[in-house]
Amino acid sequence: MSDLSGKLGLVVGVANKRSISWAIAQAAAAAGARLALTYQTERLEENVRELAATLTNAVVAPCDVASDEQLANLASTIDREFGGLDFLVHGAAFAPRPELTNPFVETSREGFRIALDVSAYSLIGLTRAVLPLMERRGGGSVLTLTYLGSQRVFSNYNVMGVAKAALEASVRYLASDLGPKNIRVNAISAGPIKTLAAAGISGFSEILQVYRERAPLRRNVELGEVADAAVFLLGPGSRGITGEVVMVDAGFHAVGV
């Protein structure tokens, strides 16, 4: 039920080989999907193209998710290359570094705007851009990535926690909006994983240790475990699931003191 043979997918948020989005791309490709990957800046383009070259017949395109023009151009590229789209993986998130190091009460108006725009609104913008392509295929699946910091306070996560809360609310509203079109919208809330984004959070190593000590499975999750859950949510096995935040965190979310 995780077979993606013949499916066409778009994966946004690949930065390097340690990205969660890249792990999902690899798993989806292994399940039979043909993919398009995006890069945000020229600095990341080489990395993404090298990774895409390891997949079969993948498409690579630029996309700054904060630009409506680039979202429209991306949709045009997907239309030209694929003619339709079965799933979207949204892995874009960003907050200016000072917003992750200063006390939360010092969050700047501009830093708040950027974090919410890139990390939450971009899901709406991307989904709207590719909606006609999914409708052409009779429906589809949209998947985004969140974190428990949306519900609980984690040191130095700050405005990203607020952005992830907005992202999860967006998942529910999009799921309600697009369900009649046979488009499902879900999120995976993964445990902490050493990624490029995580490197910007002070004290991240301590968070990893707390998870190892307190999670019911007494360990951290691996990229492959998140990717496997993603392929399930993108495929026919999850056809009755939408508006959901699926926890893939070794059970940490279920534990109290």
Distance CA 155, CA 204 (A): 9
Which residues are the active-site residues? 147, 157
**Quick one: pLDDT at residue 256?**
85
> Mean pLDDT of residues grouped by 10 in the chain (257 residues)?
91 94 98 97 93 97 97 98 98 95 97 98 98 98 97 94 98 98 98 75 82 95 97 97 98 90
Distance, CA of 173 to CA of 137 (rounded, Å): 22
Q: What pLDDT does 42 receive? A: 87
Flag whether the pTM goes above 0.85: yes
Highest CATH level, class, for 8-254: alpha beta
Give the pLDDT confidence of 12-66 residue by residue, as tens digits: 999 999 999 999 999 999 999 999 999 998 889 999 999 999 999 999 999 999 9
* Whole-number pLDDT of residue 194: 79
Domain map (residue ranges) of the chain: 8-254
